[in-house]
Amino acid sequence: MKKLYLPFIFFFFLCLTSCVDIEERYDFKADGACNVVYGFDMSKAVSVLTNLMTDSVRETPQFSLAKDTTLNFYNALPDSIANKMNAEEIKMAQGSDLAIKMDLKNNIMKVSIKHEAKNAADLQYYLQHLSNISMNSELSHVTQSKQVGGFDAQPLITGQSYYNYEITPHKFYRIIDKVKFAAFLKKAGAKFAMAKAMLIDMPYKVVLNFAKPVKKINNSKALLSADRKRVTLVTSMDEVMKNPALMNLKIDF
């Protein structure tokens, strides 16, 4: 696993200091299951950074490396971490994958965390515990690097932790916890401020696809499709930091 991550870590963090397109996607099924993807597209940043690199860097084997792979969290965990997990955490890890698509020469760099929730209760547990379960020790190997100022991207990847959720077979509610969000900003806010000073944005999109029409939604910024089965919220981390309530969603379906 280390062989896979070593060339990836360096470029991953360079990109995080430049530009990240963040997208949350929820695909609800008729039987109550839901596929969740929390993705980061750093391809734009790779394109910019490539132009700043010397020919010698672009000619290295690391830069020529291309990967398109998916790792199951539980199978990837060392025994020292897996043995400390409870039954619910093991089940959650087994249903979660880390997908990496990287082709630096073609300006492609995408990372996503995927989970298949079996029902509403499973989905709520996943969203409430993603940042707390022991598998985050594995995530930290990918999302932390001393070479680029020690920036910790883990709060971004596990950003669900600052929401309070209420999820049932007929509703999806999430409200930002102001105390938790303040703690998140204390940890990651400096990097966002630096990006803003450099006129760099972090677009943020949330897409929820439902198996049946939405009856009611409380967020005026969210767009509802013509068939009322898709909710799309488009904003940016800069806007969210100014007004966290933009990410609040109360959807009845």
- Under 8 Å CB-to-CB from 150, ≥6 apart: which residues? 144
Q: Pairing state of beta strands 108-117 and 223-224?
A: unpaired
- The yes-or-no verdict on residue 151 having pLDDT over 60 is no
Whole-number pLDDT of residue 187: 72
Choice between 252 and 53, residue whose per-residue pLDDT is larger: 252
Residue 199 CB coordination number (10 Å): 6
Is-contact 223 203, C-beta < 8 A?
no
Pick from 45-49, 117-121, 133-137: least confident: 133-137
pLDDT tens for 29-56 read: 999 999 999 888 878 767 766 766 777 7
Mean pLDDT of the chain: 78
Element (H, E) at 41: strand 34-41
Q: 190-230, pLDDT tens digit by residue?
A: 666 665 665 556 789 999 999 999 999 999 999 999 999 99
- Confidence bin at 7 (pLDDT 50/70/90): very low
